[in-house]
Chains A and B, each alone.
Chain A
Amino acid sequence: MTRLKADSRHLVRFKLNGKPVEAEAEPRMLLSDFLRHQLGATGTHVGCEHGVCGACTVVVDGMLTRSCLTLAAQVDGCDVKTVEGLAPSADRLGALQRAFRRNHALQCGFCTAGILMSLDHYLSRNPAPTEEEIRDLLSGHLCRCTGYTPIIRAALEAALSATATEESSDA
């Protein structure tokens, strides 16, 4: 049993995009704030802070997670993935990110990190999604710029290119 006192800070450790990280947090500190303020990982954005907008979506232990509805203390010992982990290297975009750029699937970019995390997670488990499935997934995100159509196009294109790459490497 672990009881963390409300008025003091406690060490929280987890893996962030494969690398061990640690910092201190009060029990009430949200994972979204912990990522941004304690770890400086500002790729995760904070929108509504009650789980509706989806901007802060990350992946914890393979589960899509609203980081604003999760305490930093809850993910102690977990495996956390954020948008910073998507690009293969600092100067290259991943396939999904490239598809977003080609299709103008972002304008202001505020919602993009969360949407990328949802799509990356979903496409890794469902490599050949239908448009309807993508629309259902996107119902968990709000975007006020794009009207969603370019995001759907980018997602389907990324899925298609990933499948095509796999087929050609098989051959």
Chain B
Amino acid sequence: MKPAAFDYLRTENVGDVLEGLTQEGGNARVLAGGQSLMAMLNMRLAKPKLLIDIMRIKEFRQIERKADAVVIGAGVRQAELLAWPDLAEALPLVALALPWVGHMQTRSRGTICGSLAHADPSAEMPLTLVALGGEVHLRSARRRRRVAAKDFFAGMMLTARADDELIEGISLPIVRDGRFAFREVARRHGDFAIVACAAMRTPSGVRLAVGGVADVPTARDWPRLEGSALDDALNGFAYDLDARDDVHATARYRRDLVRMIGRDLIREVLQ
């Protein structure tokens, strides 16, 4: 199918974007890499009156390393972050998860922040943001605010972003001496995950974050667990995620995957 008609606004100035969002509100959508939004437009699942292209705004194209976090601008493409020389050292979990995002042909255009704005519950970048406890930087003509990952995702493809707000970037904490693991199961490499898991060692134990099961990616922390205590904890988590049957997999299969992948990854990071 083809998109419904919209006005197209292209600008090099953030002020124009904020003004457009203020004027049009929910009728405006921000276009970055387009790898999620354009598909939504083609299928007419989204019918904005105004599309605001932000990819010619230079200040959004930056990856900035600070003392304890990396700030990724709204225009940074997935392939650009994957090619960032500091990635494996500063953000090892992102280095593990990013190759699972779509395909080389979509990572070349798709942005990190666009994937977060789309908020597909089985997508890897929302899962990574939640696992690391990152923050989303929102900006409107009225104010700027930062929202923690766990508060940003409000439901399937729903976020805490207000209609007049733009995601101008995200920050991901740099975890020193961390240990991370990532794995997902999909029908085909590059498809949306049936279940995706990220694990990390924390000062008090371990954290497991799961995508593809609940409406939003969900993380849980435990002290160091082993043996049947770990099995029980994982089983409880798998049920709490409230998996549902769909065309891709049954709820039971999803719970199985959470238990199995969860156990493997937790062992890997606690080794």
User: Which residues of A lie under 8 Å from residue B4 when comparing CB positions?
Assistant: 28
List the 4 closest pairs (A to B, CB-CB), nearest first. Answer: A140-B103, A27-B8, A69-B38, A50-B39
A30 touches B2 (CB 8 A): yes
Can you add 13 more A-B contacts, CB < 8 Å, to A4-B7, A51-B38, A65-B109? A1-B13, A4-B8, A7-B5, A27-B7, A51-B35, A57-B105, A63-B79, A66-B105, A68-B42, A69-B109, A71-B51, A139-B189, A140-B102
A33-B2, A50-B39 known; A140-B105 Cβ under 8 A: yes
**Complex CA distance for A128 and B108, rounded to whole angstroms:** 21
Considering only CB atoms, which chain B residue lies closest to A71 in the complex? B8
Task: Assess whether B105 is in contact with A54, with CB atoms less than 8 Å apart.
Answer: yes
B104 touching A136, Cβ below 8 Å: yes
Chain B, residue nearest A28 (CB): B3
State whether A3 touches B38 (Cβ < 8 A).
no
The residue of chain B having its C-beta at the shortest distance from the C-beta of A77 within the complex is B56
Give 15 pairs: A residue, B residue, CB < 8 Å, sorted on A.
A1-B11, A6-B6, A6-B7, A30-B2, A51-B35, A51-B38, A63-B77, A65-B105, A66-B35, A71-B8, A74-B31, A118-B104, A136-B104, A137-B103, A140-B190
A19 CB–B CB distance under 8 Å: no
Query: Provided the pairs A27-B51, A33-B2 are in contact, do residues A63 and B10 lie with their beta carbons within 8 angstroms?
Result: no
Complex Cα–Cα for A93 and B103 (A): 28
Mark A132-160 against chain B: 1 for CB-CB distance below 8 A, else 0: 00001101110000000000000000000
- B106 close to A66 (CB less than 8 A): yes
- How many angstroms from the CA of A50 to the CA of B102 in the assembled complex? 13
| Majority-rule SS of B interface residues | loop
Chain A contact residues, CB within 8 Å of chain B: 1-7, 26-28, 30, 33, 49-51, 54, 57, 63-66, 68-71, 73-74, 76, 118, 122, 136-137, 139-141
B43 within 8 A of A: yes
Number of inter-chain CB pairs below 8 Å: 114
Q: Are A137 and B108 in contact (CB under 8 A)?
A: no
Docked-complex contact A1 and B2, CB < 8 angstroms:
no
Q: Binary interface profile of B, 45-71, with partner A (CB < 8 Å = 1, else 0)?
A: 000010101010000000000000000
Closest to A137 in B: B104
A142 to B4, CA, bound (A): 27
Interface contact B38-A136, CB-CB below 8 Å: no
- Inter-chain contacts of B102 with A (CB < 8 A): 140
B77 nearest in chain A by CB position: A63
The reply to whether A2 and B39 contact each other, CB–CB distance below 8 Å, is: no
Question: Is B268 part of the contact surface with A, judged by Cβ < 8 Å?
Answer: no
Give the Cβ gap from A115 to chain B, nearest Cβ, in Å.
Answer: 10
| Smallest CB separation, B62 vs chain A (Å) | 18
Q: Determine if B34 is an interface residue (Cβ-Cβ < 8 Å).
A: yes
| CA A49 to CA B1, docked complex, whole Å | 7
Q: A70 near B5 (CB under 8 angstroms)? A: no
A65 to B104: give the CA distance in the assembly, Å: 10
CA A70 to CA B31, docked complex, whole Å: 10
Given contacts A3-B7, A3-B9, A27-B6, contact A74 B106 (CB under 8 A): no
From B1, B7, B38, B108, A5 is in contact (CB under 8 Å) with B7
Q: Mark each residue of chain B from 82 to 126: 1 if its CB lies under 8 Å from any CB of chain A, else 0.
A: 000000000000000000001111101100000000000000000
Residue from A50, A68, A69, A74 within 8 A of B53 (CB atoms) = A74
Q: Judging by beta carbons under 8 Å apart, are A118 and B8 in contact?
A: no
